[in-house]
Chains A and B, each alone.
Chain A
């Protein structure tokens, strides 16, 4: 089956530094794929590269994106605009800021249909209902300031999905929301992925969110994919030291109260200081001379489970 979205060997440069290097993954229809990593690991830039809306300072010198098998890099900017919002949509952190304060809920959701609200009203009402907004007939004519953050995110999701895109990119969609609302929004995304067959790329730094809804996960570190595979397999047995340390850093109910939280020592190197070899070597308990000299490539360590570590088998 053709994946809904396939990213091939993406490389993004800022100045001379490869801030995203060799990133590739595929998402099937109805599947939720999580892209996890710390701030600055390149996950948001990857998302922008998929939409082909990179900041001016970033240059893509390798790789391409395929949507339903169509290579997007051959499209003109005009054709690409027809892809955005119709075949591929994106939602953001801070839903309240992502809605135009001077435009009604209905008008903004209707924008995805390409026709004015007068004509699209029935479709907009149905979509608002589908994303779980109570009393859509009243909400449709309200302005964003009259809505809560969770409701704004539902409106964003409605406006992103009304044109039935094959792919939804969700960039930290729940980071700005409180925990109960976060769970509701994740449930909603999960449900929409299954019901509508939408492939979802979920960008997050929160392993808890990944565990909640992702079918598969790609862990990124310093612009490269460290490990990728089924969520269950990775949580059961991580095959990259970075993933293992991330999981160990999750606070658990069984932790001794007031004990120190587990941390990963050191910090992510700046793009200008990326080392040769494995970029995680400087913080890795397993690193040896080979790690510092040779870049480990992704290799299959179990069925469908890939790790970019020379010592994948030794990870505990």
Chain B
């Protein structure tokens, strides 16, 4: 019964694990302090080494900070923001979708029309506006991303709940005296977890992009704390003299998001029998 996992997927998962490990272990594997500046070491190309400070594998930025260390810490920021904001939106969206699908009637109308309204406003625009008004901070970033991206979960949870709620084992649970909360959490939630997991995976990639995008605009992680978005934003001015400042964080962002998305597609094929198509 062991599922066959292709070589490509193994590589993708390995890459994601490497990124996650780098993010988790950043404080221990970084060669330098990501915040330590040095005017003498400004814009050193990758591979530069000095007798006093040691090797800079990916070079340094305009303030003489080690780029590799900043990218490792930046990965940490990306993962933390993505995990927290995906969790917020997953919980909010799923609860609303469960409620709409179970109680139906006006509850569902209210929730689902609100979802439609939310989906008609571009999430990134909403996020930019909110951060610009409240002022950027780590908590704001997580909440804004989490609270603008829940409607997709609600739609999926709603449709799946409607479907599962009509199955005989739910009627049986009702006949056995289970209350709504018990039926929703014990019997419906586990049975709709598959499609929600697929949405969460693709949202994870998007959240990493949003975090980078907002940080690039100066609305996310605030300097001097490292984030891929802000590193690229700062490196933009030096793109002709110091290509490594934009290329390496960009490459990291690109690789990670592609990996997450491919894994999301693979999960969807495995968990959603309708899209299996083989």
Contact = CB atoms under 8 A, between A and B. Distances in A.
Interface of A: 51, 53, 81-86, 89-92, 94, 97-103, 111-112, 156, 159-160
Contact of A90 (B175, B178, B179, B190): B175
Given A98-B168, A99-B169, A103-B186, A82 B191 contact: no
Contacts of A90: 172, 175
B39 interface: no
B187 A85 contact: no
B176 interface: yes
A112 B172 CA distance: 11
Contact of B176 (A94, A97, A160): A160
B177 to A, nearest CB: 3
A100 B191 contact: yes
A89 B169 contact: no
Contacts, number: 56
A83 B187 contact: no
B64 to A, nearest CB: 56
A85 B177 contact: yes
Nearest to A51: B175
Contact of B169 (A51, A82, A100): A100
B174 interface: yes
B176 A98 contact: no
Given A97-B167, A100-B169, A84 B191 contact: no
B173 interface: yes
Contacts of A159: 176
B271 to A, nearest CB: 13
Contact of A111 (B167, B171, B178): B178
A166 to B, nearest CB: 14
Given A84-B175, A89-B175, A101-B191, 7 more contacts: A81-B178, A84-B177, A86-B177, A91-B172, A100-B191, A111-B176, A160-B176
A112 B175 CA distance: 11
Given A94-B168, A97-B167, A97-B168, A102 B175 contact: no
Specify the main secondary structure of chain B where it touches its partner: helix
Contacts of A98: 168-169, 171-172
A79 B48 CA distance: 76
A102 B172 CA distance: 14
- In the complex, the 10 A-B pairs of residues with the closest C-beta atoms, listed nearest first: A85-B177, A84-B177, A85-B176, A90-B175, A97-B168, A98-B172, A102-B190, A98-B168, A100-B169, A81-B177
Contacts of B167: 97
Contacts of A51: 175
Contacts of B172: 90-92, 98-99, 156
Contact of A53 (B174, B179, B191): B174
A261 B60 CA distance: 92
Contacts of B175: 51, 53, 84-85, 89-90
A173 B190 CA distance: 27
Contact of A100 (B173, B174, B179): B173
11 contacts: A53-B171, A81-B178, A84-B177, A99-B172, A100-B169, A101-B169, A101-B191, A102-B190, A103-B190, A112-B176, A160-B176
Contacts of B176: 84-85, 89, 111-112, 159-160
B171 A83 contact: no
Contacts of B169: 97-101
A154 to B, nearest CB: 14
A102 B191 contact: yes
Contacts of A82: 177
Contacts of B191: 100-102
B177 A83 contact: yes
Interface string B177-203: 111000000110011000000000000
B170 to A, nearest CB: 8
A156 to B, nearest CB: 7
B187 A103 contact: yes
A42 B52 CA distance: 90
A156 B172 CA distance: 9
Nearest to A91: B172
Contacts of B171: 53, 92, 98
A254 B190 CA distance: 53
Interface in B131-175: 167-169, 171-175
Contacts of A84: 174-177
A53 B167 CA distance: 15
Contacts of A86: 177
Given A100-B173, A101-B191, A102-B190, A81 B179 contact: yes
B155 to A, nearest CB: 22
Contacts of B186: 100, 103
Nearest to A114: B177
Nearest to B179: A81
A104 to B, nearest CB: 12
Nearest to A81: B177
A80 B178 CA distance: 11
Nearest to B105: A56
A92 B173 CA distance: 11
A184 to B, nearest CB: 21
B197 to A, nearest CB: 14
Nearest to B193: A102
A94 B172 CA distance: 11
Contacts of A99: 169, 172
Interface in B14-42: none
